[in-house]
Amino acid sequence: MRNGVRLWIGLGLMAAAGSCAGRNLPPEPDSYVAADAIGAERAAELAASPAATWLDDLNSTEMSTLAREALAGSPDLQIVEARYRAARWRARGAIGSNLLPSLSIGVDGTRTEEPIPNSDERIRTEFMTSSVIASWEIDLWGRLTARTLAADLSADAAEEDLNGARLSVAGQSSTAWVSLIEAQQLLALAEEDLQTRERALDLTQRRYDAGIATSLALRTARSQVASARAFEAQAQDFLLIASRRLQEIMGRYPDGTLRADGDLPQLALIAAAGAPEDLLERRPDVLAAESRMRSAGFRIHEARANLLPRLTLRGSAGSTGEGITDIDDSANMVSNLVAGLTMPIFNGGALLAESRATVNDRRAAAAEYVRTSIGAWREVEAAISADQSLEVREREFASAAEEARAAQELAEREYSRGVASLFELIDAYTRRIDAERGLISARAERVSNRIAYHVALGGGARTGGIDRRQDAAR
């Protein structure tokens, strides 16, 4: 009776352990979560991350709101986040599987039946077995530690990939918002151009009916109206494309109905980028490349240690009996303890080849780190130099647009009085539209470049660059 009680207690502990293991599963959702369903705590975490804090530096509430929604609802971002969490859980599992002993218990039961010769009866035999098995490899050469550290660093790299993806989504959504405003302004300009050319056609038609204008002038005016309608249709298509692109990034249905209510922000002077070496400490892609390079170094140690002997301790205990109450009798249990030392002798050169392969993996990871670092510096330098040229373009296009508008008004008055020709009026229209388009594009491109500058800094100048107020106080 006492043996049976111990057995049922043991089975109860096994069931409890399995239940606890199931309850300790990660609480992450197992499917896509829309932006409006992530919860207030999760939304606050995303809003406070370096991927989002720089958004407020551009002083555009609408852009910041849409970008934060994209951080919460982007399907691409949730893919990267799920992969990171999977890598982190596997790294945690590697600690237990590599460095800690393994322990398992089991209960087996068999039943056999044999016929009795010259009889209809059968002999039935029941046989029960219980076992406890423990195994532990002693980490003599640091092989298991190196494997564990490599897995942990790979998870760190995946985390930096997630940070980089968040930063990229914030930049993409902000740039898409800029493109949406640009498309709206270009459509408004195309509609205005169509109206001005229709007015010119109406005036030319009246002058032709009066015998003042020629057939060439009338057909030219009609051609200009048709071209303006074609440009308007093109601008409408560009607006739908820009709207759908922003909706796609945010995880919304891309019906093309999203419109921007605000205007492009007025940009201040570009903030200080800090020292070049500081960039290496805050760019997620650089940090990910560094973690992968360090992980590759531990892989080299693991591969070399695979060539050395391994010491493993194994222990087992078990009992057998004819009934379930007979298999937990500690007095009759058979125990076994083995210490084994094994060393690979011949495996076709696989271990040596793997060791040499990991050296080249480490070399590739180091080169990747250098390439990523140089690319990060290039992006920052390119954004700074582009901001200067775009500022000049914006200023000069603004001046050109102002002069072109005045020239157009003058040409319309002179054409209505018969002083200027239709071709002079068309030329004035064309110059004004070209200057207005150039101004809209230059402004949008400069804001997009400023967004790229903040992204290139790994989270904005305010979160990573030089704090001039602190420097002045020193």
* pLDDT at site 44: 67
* Mean pLDDT on 60-86: 89
Q: How far apart are CA 227 and CA 230, in angstroms?
A: 5
Q: How far apart are CA 6 and CA 82, in angstroms?
A: 43
What would the pLDDT profile of 160-184 be if each residue is shown by its tens digit? 999 999 999 999 999 999 999 999 9
Residues 6+ apart with CB under 8 A from 36: 73
Least Cα distance to 225 among 267, 262, 196 occurs for: 196
What would the pLDDT profile of 131-158 be if each residue is shown by its tens digit? 788 888 888 888 889 999 999 999 999 9
The alpha-helical segments, DSSP class H, found in 123-275 are 143-209, 215-250
Burial 363-392 (b: 16+ CB within 10 A, else e): eebbebbeebbeebbebbeebeebbeebbe
For residue 168, give the 3-state DSSP assignment: helix
Q: How confident is the model at residue 9 (pLDDT cuts 50, 70, 90)?
A: very low
Handedness of CA 318, 324, 325, 326 (dihedral sign): negative
Q: How confident is the model at residue 113 (pLDDT cuts 50, 70, 90)?
A: confident
Task: Name the least confident of 2-11, 189-198, 232-241, 302-311.
Answer: 2-11
* pLDDT at site 344: 81
* Mean pLDDT on 239-259: 94
Q: How confident is the model at residue 100 (pLDDT cuts 50, 70, 90)?
A: confident
**Dihedrals φ, ψ of 48, to 5°?**
-90, 0
What would the pLDDT profile of 21-36 be if each residue is shown by its tens digit? 444 444 555 555 555 5
Report whether pLDDT(342) > 70.
Answer: yes
Task: Name the least confident of 62-66, 245-249, 254-258, 469-473.
Answer: 469-473
The domain made up of 40-100+142-308+355-473 has a fold known as: Outer membrane efflux proteins (OEP) (1.20.1600)
Report whether pLDDT(336) > 50.
Answer: yes
Question: Which letter does DSSP use for residue 324 in this model?
Answer: G
* pLDDT at site 433: 93
* pLDDT at site 120: 72
Q: How far apart are CA 273 and CA 461, in angstroms?
A: 6
Average pLDDT taken over every residue of the chain: 83
Greater model confidence, 194 or 77: 194
* pLDDT at site 23: 47
Q: How far apart are CA 431 and CA 371, in angstroms?
A: 45
* Mean pLDDT on 440-468: 78
* Mean pLDDT on 459-470: 48
The alpha-helical segments, DSSP class H, found in 334-421 are 350-416
What would the pLDDT profile of 394-439 be if each residue is shown by its tens digit? 999 999 999 999 999 999 889 888 888 888 989 999 999 999 999 9
Residue pair 309/341 in contact (Cβ under 8 Å)? The answer is yes
For residue 442, give the 3-state DSSP assignment: helix
* pLDDT at site 29: 55
* pLDDT at site 198: 93
Report whether pLDDT(37) > 60.
Answer: no
**Dihedrals φ, ψ of 11, to 5°?**
-60, -35
Report whether pLDDT(8) > 50.
Answer: no
Report whether pLDDT(322) > 50.
Answer: yes
